[in-house]
Structure 1
Amino acid sequence: MSRILLIEDHERLAQLICKGLAGAGIAVDMVSRVDAAWAAIQQLPYQAMILDRGLPDGDGLTLLQKLRRAGQGLPCLVLTARDALHDRVEGLDAGADDYLAKPFAMDEMVARVKALLRRPVVLNALDPSYGGLTLRPDTGVLWHGENSVALSPAEMQIMLLFLRNQEDVVRRSALEAAAWGLSEAVTPNALDVALHRIRRKLIAIGSRYKIVNVRGHGYALREHAGAQ
């Protein structure tokens, strides 16, 4: 299932958008501020975002410009009450992929988001690798040399986060958010179960790296102490 980020401070509208997209099989995480959106994008590998312009802590375009300067090619639909030509041009110049003025029909919103999700994103298409491990997000398969193992969607998102952070510690909350999103309820032991399964799969493909618990801080992908 595709997962996108919605940045919209109008609660009722945000709920309607979430419901409409969920009906089309698209999972949505919702935030209402620029700073919260930036933090969420650093944690999770979203496939697209819907961005409102008028947010409590600033113009949504400032977030978009910051992302583009950082080399982040996340497809973006700018959503706003402004429909003047210069406003549309301003949004596209800031790096938006599409522009939709309020009010809008939900069918059109869903169609535009689906179109964004079909666009290839070169910066996100690379297979993340570290320590001899390579993850192919398009197939959900983790490789070590000629050995491979399939990961569940949650396991894949967790492994993506570990590979991107290399040997740095990743907090438990970040792993849970990566696997199940910001708004989805997670049972207390869901992450422990997922980590147990990934550890077994790393052993099965002969990886010299394992997931270790860094007490009081989180988890990290580290090399076996006795590995050659």
Structure 2
Amino acid sequence: MNRILLVEDHERLARLVCTGLAGAGIAADVVHRIDAAWSALQQVDYGALVLDRGLPDGDGLLLLQRLRGAGSPIPCLVLTARDALADRVAGLDSGADDYLPKPFAMDELVARVRALLRRQKELEPLDPGHGDLRLVPSDGLLQCGDQSVQLPASEMQLMLLLARKGGETVRRTALEAAAWGLTEAVTPGALDVAVHRLRRKLSALGSRLRIVNVRGLGYALRDEEKQVAE
């Protein structure tokens, strides 16, 4: 399931949007403030951002400007009651990819978010790899040589994050957020169970890579042969 971040302080509207998106196979984490949104975006690799402007701690465009200033390419839909031409121009100039005024039709919002997610997939590499592995997120495949195995969405997100860190330790909280988002309840031990399953799959594929437990911190994806050589 695709996952986006919704920044909206109107709780009833946020629930309605989440329900509409879920019906289209799009999961959404919800935050109500700019500072919470910035924190969430540092933890989870979201496919898109749906951003309200009138937030308790300021104009949502301040968040968007900060993201663009930091080089973030995340597709963003500004969702707001401010529908004057000057407001739309300000949103687009701040780095928004789309702008939808309230009130809106849920079908249109879903269609626009889908378009953003397609755009994001076009920007991403089709086969991010690490060591002797290749991951194909669009097909949910983990490959090694001529062998492959299907991964559920949570395990794919874990592998993508570990691979992108190139052997660095990834904290447990970051891994849990990547796999299950910020709002989904994660049962104790769920991460360890998922890692155990991934380890078995890596072994079955004959990969040199191993998911290493860094005690008290998290996990890292490391090359067994390199470690022996060092």
Both proteins in one fold, TM over 0.5: yes
1:1-228 alignment to 2 at 5 Å?
1-224=1-224, 225-226=227-228
CA distance in 1 between partners of 2:170 and 2:217 (Å): 8
Identical columns (%): 68
Question: Could you give the per-residue CA deviations for residues 138-182 of structure 1, whole angstroms, max 9, x where no partner exists?
Answer: 111122333332211111000011011122211212211111111
TM-superposed CA distance for 1:45, in Å, is 2.4
Instruction: Tell me the SS of whatever aligns to 2:170.
Output: coil
- Report the residue type matching 1:168 in the other structure: E
Q: Distance in 1 between matches of 2:151 and 2:21?
A: 25
Code of the aligned partner of 2:133: L
Task: Give the match's secondary structure for 1:117.
Answer: helix
Deviation beyond 3 Å, 4+ runs, structure 1: 120-123, 225-228
TM-score by length of structure 2 reads 0.89
- Cα separation, 2, equivalents of 1:48 and 1:157: 15
Q: Deviations over 1:75-105 (max 9, x none)?
A: 2110112111011011111121111112223
**Which sections of structure 2, spanning at least 5 residues, go unmatched?**
none
Q: CA deviation at 1:52?
A: 0.8
Q: Which amino acid aligns with 2:56?
A: P
5+ long unaligned stretches in structure 1: none
Structure 1 residues 134, 39: closer, same or farther in 2, change over 3 A? farther
C-alpha distance in 2 between matches for 1:40 and 1:206: 35
Letter in 2 for 1:170: V
Question: 1:120 deviation in Å?
Answer: 4.7
The offset of 1:122, in angstroms, is 4.3
User: CA-to-partner distance for each residue in 1:23-66, whole Å, 9 max, x for gaps?
Assistant: 22221111112222222223222221100112223322122223
Residues 46-55 or 61-70, more deviating = 61-70
Name the CA shift for 1:121/1:22 in 2 (closer, same or farther; >3 Å).
Answer: closer
Structure 1 residue 206: deviation in Å? 2.1
